[in-house]
Amino acid sequence: MKLTALKNQAGKVRIPRNIWILFLIWLGGVICDRIWWSLDEGVPGWDQADYLTGTLNYGAALSRPEWGNGDWWRNLWLLSSKIPPLTYMVAGVLQNFVGVGVEQATIIMSLYSGVLLAAVYGLGWVLFDGNLGLLAAGLCQIIPGLYRLRLDFLLDYPLAAMVTLCFLCVTLWHFSGTSSLQKEAKSIGNTNLPKEGDRWNDNPKWYKSLGLAISCGITFALALLTKQTAVFFLLVPIVWSGTTALFSRHWLRVGQFLLGVWVATWIFMPWYRANWLLIVTSGKRASIDSAIAEGDPPLNTLAAWTFYWEQLPHQLSFPLLVMPLVGLIIYGWHYFRQRQGKSVPHSPLSSYKLDCTNQNPNHHQNTSKSLRWLALFLIASYLLSSVNINKDDRYIIPYLPSLTIILAYGLTRIQSYWWRNLRVATLILTTGLTLINLFPLPGAGIAQIFAPHSQHYPYQGAKYPHTAVIAEIIRTQPYLRSTVAVLPSTPDVNQHNLNYYGAISRREGASQTANFQVYGRQVATNRQYLERDIAALDWFITKTGNQGSVRNIQAEAVNKVETSPDLQLHKTWQLPDGESLKLYHRIQPATIVTPINPPPSQVNPNIELIDVKLPDASPGGVPIPITYTWQGNLQAFHDGVMLLTWRRIDGDSDNSNNLNLDQQQWFHDHSIGMGDIYPRFHGDMYAQVRDRTAMSPPLSIAPGKYTLKATYLHRQTQATYTVKVPNVTIEINPQVPASAAPEPDLASQLRQMAATMPQGISAFENIFAEIGRINQYDPTQDYLQQVLIASQYRLQQQPQNRELAYTVALSNVLLRRVEDAIASLEYVTKIDSQNPFAWGYLAFVHLYNWHPQAAETALKPALELNPHIRELQALSGVAALFQGKFIAAYRGLSGFLTPNS
């Protein structure tokens, strides 16, 4: 049968019967899925909620596309640093049309189901026949390994669809122009077949093979943009096809293969290039660390290699495992006896009508090649997946659709009357098991016998309070973006699903889009930072009973939160299991927004600083508590950065001449509300904002009295104006005791870290440890933008200020603005040219951007200044390795890898 629409005698397009059947198979699955989701009242677990949030991020970005803007594309790829973004992008665009929510996002699983079924049907049709392809597609709807994942928002089902689609394209290209599928051409009347071995044939349909090669490249790229593990399933068949063309000297096909590789690279490389370092560094945690934590068997044990084999009864169900196997055994026995010229002994078996009785040699030759091709894919997929030390039954799912073709082949080998009835009974039984496992129907005990561990009911109990928790936070702080620390980590209550519900929270009358007003984050995972974690955030969630997969320190964190004099229990909800969910709030929040409605005559279009509270005196080098009270328009608060300069106003003039500028002033630049002002839906609202924080004058600051100067800097336009401030002073006196103070704001902490960069690798390691901590407090990392904007402006005023130059460079690096980071580090090397670490930082960013020659150039002055710094030697080795200079790479890396004596 041809996969093209046929025309009847009247000239009308007639869709083939098999396509209608395939559509009905897909539609049946869609109806079943939608009923399941309409009944489900549960909340997404860890991974599901994390992926759902990713769809919202991409949906928001793709709702305002700027296709010709390179920065927009870079930011698009950076939205997901570790997980390939294709599923996020598809679901995000879909939700832009149908609204946000779990049920809306899962519609894409029906789309991927259509792709998967079409690809399986295509594989069955190409390798065997259309009827077998239909049966295999039907099996994909009723095997537990696939239907359970079709009802979970994970990446494994989309990956299975894309892997199968790519494998179909590779199969079509691999067999195109070869004798293995010339039966197809003969069957449709094409007698102009290329001769075997004619590698430069003039086949007029060469362009079809070219199109297939391009399709292979596109689908392989899409698979890699779905999940990195696609390579486990597709690497061997792709390499096999390419090497077959190469060794056969089919140069036209070799060229097509290389074109397909180029197309794939062109599509998937932008995301991988932007995120390759995080992908590599997170790989250990995602595989080795997770495997150890979950107790997965090591690779030197038999259990590691039989793990996925043991999952087959759960993934296929016993009827669909046993019946095809029996059919294959009987078929194989008859086939090999026939090949040996032996007759089958008289028995009930001899009355079977077997497919092996076909006397056409081409039939068996083509079937043999098809089976070998499938075996290559399945065995390679199994072995490469087993090499991955982190085991989970869903990680092998992408090979199941192709395995259903083998199952369908086994079910259709025997053509006797009673076997056909038995086959129909098996399909009916398995379909019934599917429904019993998906819905609370009678027969659950029988279903567990024939399809064990496959039950996947929709949750229909009492509703979880997640949306109520988020609504309460927004009701309390309607004008702020809030971050809530989630201490438990269970499948039902964790930082990911509270973060997701915080993103989709909607005010009355708001559009059906994500709002991103409340973020959930997990803190208190490191005892070293426990006190700082609790001091940094205003909202905390705890629960009674089971705390989930959390560390021992979590109990200590819960105790500190529940007994802290600075926090109070805000509200309690009951969970469906009878446990309690508790929401704690800081008694004195860091930021308070109070709407005001002044008379029009008193409205000032500019922001005003109406009050500053701080100690009369403080020593330098310690945090100083300070509270600013601002007044103005909320949108202006959101759009600007305040440049706050504390300047020395007294002291010995002769002594002042001996001090540099950094000893007579310090900066406390940050956004009003610490960047947490949430302007959406507020319109032109006037308010007072009180910020309670701390500032950190340097230890080298000169004693004396200091006063404040404030300047408003617009983030986009860079326009500035002087802000009216009250008359306020503070004395820096090393003799007075320090006052109790909260943690400095994140912008101040970042500036302090940047000041240590000239010290080299030890300082940089500490910087990234601290960045990992404070990023939890600001989920949008807006503090990086605040520091970058303010420091760039100040650097224009003080171009020789080394600390400002390093601050700009560090901000660009952390924002992963590669070109800007290179430019700012090049500027650093001009004003700090005698520091080898400055050149080392520049070389590292060049390597990150895949510019090894530029990195090598930057390292030359660094190694001349100090050739004994091992980290610089390692960078030199990596730069050489990227350029294929293996001897130089060995020299550089050997010194780094050899322990110090």
Domains in the chain with CATH codes: 312-450 (no CATH), 466-586 (3.40.190), 590-743 (2.60.40)
pTM of the shown model: 0.90
Residue 238 CA from chain centroid, whole number: 26
Under a CB-based contact definition with an 8 Å cutoff, are residues 120 and 137 in contact? yes
Here the tokens at position 842 are: 């520049």
Q: How many CB atoms lie within 10 A of CB 293?
A: 11
Which one-letter DSSP state was computed for residue 577?
Answer: T
Non-local CB neighbours of 299 within 8 Å, separated by 6+ positions = 305, 387, 389
Whether the pLDDT of residue 188 is over 50: the answer is no
Whether the pLDDT of residue 205 is over 80: the answer is no
Under a CB-based contact definition with an 8 Å cutoff, are residues 614 and 625 in contact? yes
Under a CB-based contact definition with an 8 Å cutoff, are residues 87 and 535 in contact? no
pLDDT digits (tens, 9 = 90+) for 36-89: 999 999 999 999 999 999 999 999 999 999 999 988 999 999 999 899 999 999
**What is the average per-residue pLDDT within 247-272?**
94
3-state secondary structure of 692: strand
3-state secondary structure of 625: strand
Per-chain mean pLDDT for the chain = 88
**What is the average per-residue pLDDT within 603-629?**
93
pLDDT number for residue 344 = 56
Spell out the SS3 assignment of 243-277: HHHHHCCCHHHHHHHHHHHHHHHHHHHHHHHHHHH
**What is the average per-residue pLDDT within 501-525?**
80
| Confidence at 183, pLDDT banded by 50, 70, 90 | very low
Whether the pLDDT of residue 189 is over 60: the answer is no
Whether the pLDDT of residue 901 is over 50: the answer is no
pLDDT digits (tens, 9 = 90+) for 750-772: 999 999 999 998 888 889 889 98
pLDDT number for residue 889 = 84
pLDDT digits (tens, 9 = 90+) for 452-471: 999 999 999 999 999 999 99
Picking from 166-170, 465-469, 504-508, 870-874, which range would have the lowest pLDDT averaged per residue?
Answer: 504-508
pLDDT digits (tens, 9 = 90+) for 693-737: 999 999 999 999 999 999 999 999 999 999 999 999 999 999 999
Picking from 121-135, 431-445, 674-688, 707-721, which range would have the lowest pLDDT averaged per residue?
Answer: 674-688
**What is the average per-residue pLDDT within 826-839?**
96
**What is the average per-residue pLDDT within 841-857?**
95
Whether the pLDDT of residue 473 is over 60: the answer is yes
- If one compares 834 and 888, the residue with the highest pLDDT of the two is 834
Whether the pLDDT of residue 518 is over 60: the answer is yes
pLDDT number for residue 511 = 52
Long-range contacts (CB closer than 8 Å, 24 or more residues apart) made by 283-292: 286/82, 286/390, 287/388, 287/389, 287/390, 288/389, 288/390, 290/390, 291/389, 291/390, 291/391
Picking from 15-19, 195-199, 267-271, which range would have the lowest pLDDT averaged per residue?
Answer: 195-199
pLDDT number for residue 15 = 81
**What is the average per-residue pLDDT within 563-573?**
96
> Rounded to whole angstroms, how far apart are CA atoms 16 and 11?
15
Burial (CB count within 10 angstroms: exposed 0-12, middle 13-18, buried 19+), residue 187: exposed
> Rounded to whole angstroms, how far apart are CA atoms 220 and 622?
56
Whether the pLDDT of residue 656 is over 90: the answer is no
pLDDT number for residue 202 = 40
DSSP code per residue over 159-206: HHHHHHHHHHHHHHHHHTTSGGGHHHHHHTT---PPPTT-TT---TTH
| Confidence at 356, pLDDT banded by 50, 70, 90 | low
> Rounded to whole angstroms, how far apart are CA atoms 445 and 81?
44
Whether the pLDDT of residue 347 is over 90: the answer is no
pLDDT number for residue 162 = 98
CA separation, residue 873 to residues 95, 842, 863 (Å): 50, 14, 8
pLDDT number for residue 334 = 77
> Rounded to whole angstroms, how far apart are CA atoms 686 and 693?
22
pLDDT number for residue 7 = 52
| Confidence at 625, pLDDT banded by 50, 70, 90 | very high
DSSP-assigned beta bridge partners for residue 571 = 583
Element (H, E) at 540: strand 539-543
Please, what's the b/e burial string for 659-692 (b: 16 or more CB within 10 A of its CB; e: otherwise)?
beebebbbbbbbbbbbbbbbbebbeebbbbbbbb
Give the residue among 137, 114, 127 at the shortest CA–CA distance from 401.
137
pLDDT number for residue 648 = 93
3-state secondary structure of 106: coil
3-state secondary structure of 686: strand
Q: How many CB atoms lie within 10 A of CB 232?
A: 23
Whether the pLDDT of residue 98 is over 50: the answer is yes
Go through the chain and tell me how many residues it has: 901
pLDDT digits (tens, 9 = 90+) for 783-794: 999 999 999 999
pLDDT digits (tens, 9 = 90+) for 211-238: 999 999 999 999 999 999 999 999 999 9
pLDDT number for residue 323 = 92
Here the tokens at position 133 are: 């392809």
**What is the average per-residue pLDDT within 303-308?**
92
Tokens 């894409």 identify what position? 108
pLDDT digits (tens, 9 = 90+) for 233-253: 999 999 999 999 999 888 888
| Position 864, amino acid | E
What angle, 0 to 180 degrees and rounded to 10, lies between the N-to-C axes of helices 302-310 and 361-387? 120
pLDDT digits (tens, 9 = 90+) for 287-301: 776 777 777 888 889
Picking from 8-17, 188-197, 655-664, 702-711, which range would have the lowest pLDDT averaged per residue?
Answer: 188-197
Under a CB-based contact definition with an 8 Å cutoff, are residues 694 and 730 in contact? no
Here the tokens at position 848 are: 């990150």
pLDDT number for residue 643 = 98
| Confidence at 336, pLDDT banded by 50, 70, 90 | confident
CA separation, residue 773 to residues 488, 534, 777, 778, 810 (Å): 18, 12, 7, 10, 16
**What is the average per-residue pLDDT within 798-826?**
95
Picking from 338-342, 398-402, 812-816, 888-892, which range would have the lowest pLDDT averaged per residue?
Answer: 338-342
Give the residue among 390, 88, 458 at the shortest CA–CA distance from 96.
88
Picking from 205-209, 500-504, 687-691, 886-890, which range would have the lowest pLDDT averaged per residue?
Answer: 205-209
> Rounded to whole angstroms, how far apart are CA atoms 566 and 587?
6
pLDDT number for residue 349 = 46
pLDDT number for residue 352 = 52
Q: How many CB atoms lie within 10 A of CB 895?
A: 16
> Rounded to whole angstroms, how far apart are CA atoms 174 and 181?
10
